[in-house]
A = this chain, B = another copy of it.
Amino acid sequence: MNFGVIGYKGRMGKLILELFQEHNHTPVLLVDKNEIIEKEKPDVIIDFSNKDALETTIYFCKKYSSNLVIGTTALKEEHFKLLKELSENVAVVQSYNFSIGINILLDILEKYSKIFEKWDCEIVETHHSKKKDKPSGTAILLKNTINRNLEIHSLRLGGIPGDHAIFFSNEGELIQFSHRALSRKVFALGALKAAEFVMKKTRGFFTFKDILKEEI
């Protein structure tokens, strides 16, 4: 496919550019602050930059009728409104976490949280010491899925790409669900999976859950 990357000089942008090329896809639109390399119509545009770039991203999606994969975090209601509008004309995949494993865990927690109702539950997440937000967006997703009031413990340690653990315990037993990202590449792989998914759609607003559904 021909693809575009918004924020292609950032940490995630670079990884996406590299990985998509390894899979024989062609970059035809590269955007970063004060820089636009525009060659051809992209089939899909990938944006893992930040919410300030959203306007630019939407401009290019409309201009080329390109589908969109967006992993930008901390979006507000107004941003979602723009994305929903866009999805009437092109296909959009939006998620705060593009790891397949985390999305499987979310699916399990959604289905099994009720049975753990009377068990104590807490979450521990560990990330590299440069991560600014606390708790991680993924930990919040996990908590919202378990859907009860619980404590999230955030550790900031060295170069950990991202660990999440959910503990359930009663008087006699302890169950742990845990996920470890081995490198940031895992999110680029999820973006690729999403791009391949979105290529087969013409319009609509999707999340990573929809991608997973086709696999289970």
Interface residues of A (CB under 8 A from B): 99-102, 104-105, 108, 111-112, 114-116, 119-122, 124, 126, 129, 151, 153, 155-161, 167-183, 185-186, 189, 212, 215-216
Question: What are 11 A-B interface contacts by the 8 Å CB criterion?
Answer: A101-B174, A101-B175, A104-B175, A115-B212, A120-B129, A120-B156, A126-B167, A159-B169, A159-B183, A176-B177, A176-B179
Q: Is the interface of A mostly helix, strand, loop or mixed?
A: mixed
Tell me the complex Cα distance, A93–B90, Å.
55
Tell me the complex Cα distance, A178–B173, Å.
11
CB contacts (< 8 Å) of A181 on chain B: these are: 172-173
Tell me the complex Cα distance, A156–B151, Å.
10
Quick check: A173 and B177 within 8 Å, CB to CB?
no
Quick check: B172 and A189 within 8 Å, CB to CB?
yes
